[in-house]
Amino acid sequence: MPSFNVKVQHDSEPHEVAERLRAFSDKVRGSTKVTVTEIIEEWDDQGNLSFSFKAMGFRIAGKLENRIEAVHVTGNLPFAALPFRGAIEQEVAAKIKEALA
């Protein structure tokens, strides 16, 4: 199964990053360009997130790791979504940067 990988550098404290990302997650749900359904989010105490959702008929799942100097998002895509991998990575990176701004 193809994967995606996004890394966004930051200079904030991990707990601050976690708070911003959690709040932003709620805000972003209603503002995406495509319909996103079946959203599952599981946050841990360190601000890491396991997630899955369905968009454009594709199931996408992954993990967001809240690291000291960067937010790192990895996940799997169905083969049919492979042509959209670059766009998905760009959108994820843009949304993380927006949340941390």
Domains of the chain, first to last: 3-100 (3.30.530.20)
Record the pTM.
0.83
Q: What is the mean pLDDT of residues 68-85?
A: 91
SS (H, E, C) the chain: CCEEEEEEECCCCHHHHHHHHHHHHHHHHCCCCCCEEEEEEEECCCCCEEEEEEECCEEEEEEEEECCCEEEEEEECCHHHHHHHHHHHHHHHHHHHHHHC
The answer to whether residues 99 and 20 touch, using CB atoms and an 8 Å cutoff, is: yes
pLDDT tens digits for range 17-41: 988 888 877 666 666 667 778 889 9
